Amino acid sequence: MKKLFYYILILILICFILPIVWVRKNKKNPNKDANPEEISVIEDYDYSKYTTVKLLHTKTNEVEEVNLDDYICNVVSAEMPATFELEALKAQAIVARTYTLYKIINSSKHKDADICDSSACCQAWISKEDRLNKWNEDVRIENWNKIVTSVNETRGKIITYEGKPINAFFHSNSGGSTEKPIDVWGGSGYPYLQVVQTSGEDNYKQYSSSITITKKELISKIKASHKDVEINFDEEDCIKILEKTEGGRVKTIKFGNVELSGVETRTILGLKSANFTFSIDKDNIKFDVIGYGHGVGMSQTGADALSKQGENYENIIKHFYIGVEIINM
Ligand SMILES: [Zn+2]
């Protein structure tokens, strides 16, 4: 009789009490088996709908709807030399994908398109046919396969900050130090875009350049946007760098009676970056420039330099974008 009582007690325990305990325990953490970052992102945006991109061809003004992965292959092959390390190409693929998604989500400046094919406006794009024709025949397939590998092996990966895709700016060569967006375009900036140093960028041809123009040319170029400019070249300090940015670029410079930002000077004179010095001789002014591009976000040659130093794409991305995560779309 006593034995039967114990059997019934055990049966009650198995049938009623254990399931209640199990359900309660699991209620505390419903996403126990899921990646919490993925869940929070999917709640905010439905990434599954971003499988195509409406691409504006700036030369023809046509908008073409293209597959996202194909588009990223074309962008990577236009933006970065195929001779760069595979880890650098992977970083570029993730950065390009993130940049594209950011444009789509935060409504593009182009009316009927998500993004355009111009590096001066959005990011560079080249058709596969044109890309292959620009490479020598003996490296054509090898190069293209390397680009496709960089996209396939990072498929669906994007960079997020606090669960949202970042504004993944990138440029050619930082000259050793990147720049805060506030020092390039003004505005309030982004917490993940800070000044970071990268070694090894001086090994690339994009690192240094120079421009020599006559004094007369200099005045006429500035006059196009500042018609009252006057420079008395007999005066000491007639041209003077007044302030530098945190990233070491020219913030403000005086040309005679006119004060310009380093960024505006770069545009007016066609310099490769706002990190420059100058020297004046009898007739000419020479500008020596360090780095190539605006300097914000990932430096492409910096990414290649880091991968040559043994860093993988994740370390490269986290070097240039502070406090970010890499997640699957
Ligand atoms: Zn554009």
In order along its 329 residues, the chain shows pLDDT tens digits of: 566 556 655 555 555 554 444 433 333 333 333 333 322 223 344 567 788 999 999 999 999 999 999 999 999 999 999 999 999 999 999 999 999 999 998 877 898 999 999 998 999 999 999 999 999 999 999 999 999 999 999 999 999 999 999 999 999 999 999 999 999 999 889 999 999 999 999 999 999 999 999 999 999 999 999 999 999 999 999 999 999 999 999 999 999 999 999 999 999 999 999 999 999 999 999 999 999 999 999 999 999 999 999 999 999 999 999 999 999 98
The predicted structure's pLDDT at residue 309: 98
Cα(61) to centroid of ligand 1, in Å? Answer: 11
Distance CA(230)–CA(151), nearest Å, equals: 52
Whose tokens are 């440029």? That residue is 171
Report CA torsion sign: 185, 269, 123, 95. negative
* Closest to 264 measured CA to CA, from 184, 175, 174: 184
Cα(119) to centroid of ligand 1, in Å? Answer: 8
- Contact criterion met (CB below 8 Å) for 227 and 220: no
Instruction: Check residue 177 and report its DSSP letter.
Output: B
| Cβ neighbours around 142 below 10 Å, total | 10
Cα(187) to centroid of ligand 1, in Å? Answer: 20
pTM over 0.85, yes/no: no
Distance CA(300)–CA(283), nearest Å, equals: 37
* Closest to 168 measured CA to CA, from 312, 308, 303, 304: 303
Whose tokens are 């945190």? That residue is 246
Strands 62-67 and 52-57: antiparallel
Cα(116) to centroid of ligand 1, in Å? Answer: 4
Whose tokens are 């092996």? That residue is 153
Cα(117) to centroid of ligand 1, in Å? Answer: 7
Distance CA(99)–CA(87), nearest Å, equals: 18
Tokens of 189: 């900036």
Residue 281 phi/psi, 5-degree rounding, is -115, -160
C-alpha distance from residue 292 to each of 37, 265, 276 (Å): 35, 14, 11
Cα(125) to centroid of ligand 1, in Å? Answer: 11
Cα(277) to centroid of ligand 1, in Å? Answer: 31
Cα(120) to centroid of ligand 1, in Å? Answer: 8
Distance CA(139)–CA(133), nearest Å, equals: 11
- Contact criterion met (CB below 8 Å) for 265 and 286: no
Cα(129) to centroid of ligand 1, in Å? Answer: 22
Q: Identify the bridge partners of residue 279 per DSSP, sorted by sequence position.
A: 286
Cα(270) to centroid of ligand 1, in Å? Answer: 20
Distance CA(247)–CA(313), nearest Å, equals: 23
Cα(32) to centroid of ligand 1, in Å? Answer: 42
Q: What angle do CA 229, 279, 224 make, to 5 degrees?
A: 25
Q: What is the largest CA-CA distance in the chain?
A: 118
Cα(280) to centroid of ligand 1, in Å? Answer: 38
The predicted structure's pLDDT at residue 51: 87
Which helix (H) or strand (E) segment is 154 a member of? Answer: none
Q: Identify the bridge partners of residue 287 per DSSP, sorted by sequence position.
A: 211, 278
First-to-last alpha carbon distance for the chain, in angstroms, is 62
Tokens of 230: 């006057």
User: Would you kindly state where each structural domain of the chain is located, as residue ranges?
Assistant: 51-170+300-328, 208-290
Cα(118) to centroid of ligand 1, in Å? Answer: 6
Cα(58) to centroid of ligand 1, in Å? Answer: 8
